[in-house]
Amino acid sequence: MLDAADGQLIVAKIEKKQRSRNPAPPFITSTLQQEAARKLGFTTKRTMMVAQQLYEGIDLGGETAGLISYMRTDSVNLSEEALGDLRALIAEKYGVENLPKEPRQFKTKSKNAQEAHEAIRPTSAYRLPEQVKQFLSVEQFKLYDLIWKRTVACQMIHATLNQVAIDLNCGSDQNVFRATGSTVTNPGFMAVYLEGVDDSKEAADDQDSLLPPMEEGRPVILNDVVAGQHFTEPPPRYSEASLVKALEEHGIGRPSTYATIISTLQNREYVTLDAKRFHPTDVGRIVNKFLTDHFTKYVDYSFTANLEDDLDAVARGEKDWVPLMNDFWQPFTQLITEKETSVQRKDVTQESIDEQCPECSSPLSIRLGRNGRFVGCTNYPTCSYTRNLGDDNAAASAEPEVVEGRVCPKCESSLVIKTGRYGKFVGCSAYPTCKHIEPLEKPQDTGVACPQCKDGAILRRKARSGKIFFSCSGYPKCDYALWDAPIKESCPDCHWPILTLKTTKRRGVEKVCPQKECKYATPYEGDENDVNG
């Protein structure tokens, strides 16, 4: 079919419907954080830090000037002076035809908005980003450029688009493709700035897909055919931009607290940021479940918004703050006291499962440890059976794999491969009578004698974290250990029996004396594969 089309499609029919698109309002704190995350990849904390620098003042070659207005605001209003400067600049730079008859006015969406400050804007529209670029850091320029363009665009005329549906023939009238999207008739404000979107229905809307100009009867080049099947998918995980948007929509916090909220979630390790998406940690899931189960009222979306309304009423003189605080504090402290006595730590960190321990037949539970959730025996510490949470129950309960040709050095029972919270290891089959264990990976002899006890050899080992280190085979009698690979060479300065191979980004591979008081180091000329064994 595609061969018959000879790599081209014919535009058979074009349906157009004209529509207008208005510019986005000037930035407030939340929208600045969202756009900086979408377009610049900035975190909310980074956005506010750079915005603070632009607000406080930049040295512009002998003159220090604040480049933007106050960055903690939820007002979309602009002063008369700012509007006058913006309209004059637009007329000069983009032409009078791109200037609406009257200045654009925007309404603040949030009912809790505190409009003490105007929207975030350049302090002077005539201070073009290109003119101040030489005085700014890369981050400062990117953010200032974003603010300047958004502010100028908000006072320009609307963009005129054609909503288009195009039928494309492929070889014959029976083979028809349809493309939908928009073509730009008059860009208006879009010539300066176009607002970004998050993962949402509007982000995938075909109406916002811009198509090139086409004419009926004319051929278009077929670049590729992508066959795809779409299924209903769950909502995407929050990015910083979409999380700020959700906080704003639910009335949680204030513009000045969004960055702090997100930083707290990360600092306390309730979430991790992976590929710019937030993923809850095991600790985060448990904290969320605990608060949802026991402090339901205080984590409800409406609680913060209603409290904000009450505090605004206090600010307006409509309510007395003392009864308001008593109404909050008395039941809150009473609930905390009740939970301290009725809820035990194990109720929060453990979750019962319908399974018995394969070693002592006690019940198993899902537990939270320093390295996350795992399955463990409730008879701990008498029984220390554990396994990874993701391990299959049947596989975990199956007979352990026997280590061929070896027996326990303590009791001569068989050695078996077991799985613990840190992964697989070798242990005695007579456990718990005999508690001998050893690493699954056998330590490798480096061929270097231990310089401390002079009896053992330095072995290459792997720590629980996966990091390689080197230590004496006589451990625990000899505790000599190194992070860097040893070599059979004595130090020419202090005559210590060995040197180590150390790699740094700045100096490359060097032979270094492991003695702290000795500073000997010289470039290593051998094979770099020798480093770390």
Active site residues per annotation: 70
Rounded distance between C-alpha atoms, residue 271 and residue 248, angstroms: 20
In the 8-state DSSP scheme, what is residue 394?
H
Q: Report the DSSP beta bridge partners of residue 510.
A: 502, 523
3-state SS assignment for residue 29: helix
Q: Report the DSSP beta bridge partners of residue 163.
A: 17, 182
Residue 251 CA: distances (Å) to CA of 37, 111, 317, 327? 20, 9, 22, 21
3-state SS assignment for residue 131: helix
Q: Report the DSSP beta bridge partners of residue 407.
A: 414
Rounded distance between C-alpha atoms, residue 510 and residue 482, angstroms: 15
- Identify whether the C-beta of residue 303 lies closer than 8 Å to the C-beta of residue 297: yes
Concatenated DSSP letters of 353-388:
EEEE-TTT-PEEEEEEETTEEEEEETTTTT---EEE
Task: For residue 103, give the nearest of 84, 89, 117, 122 by alpha carbon.
Answer: 84
Q: How are strands ordered across the β-sheet holding 8-21?
A: 172-186, 159-170, 8-21, 219-221
Rounded distance between C-alpha atoms, residue 282 and residue 368, angstroms: 8
Rounded distance between C-alpha atoms, residue 210 and residue 161, angstroms: 9
3-state SS assignment for residue 129: helix
Task: For residue 387, give the nearest of 354, 422, 414, 359 by alpha carbon.
Answer: 422
Q: And the tokens for 104?
A: 């654009």
Q: And the tokens for 489?
A: 């060479």
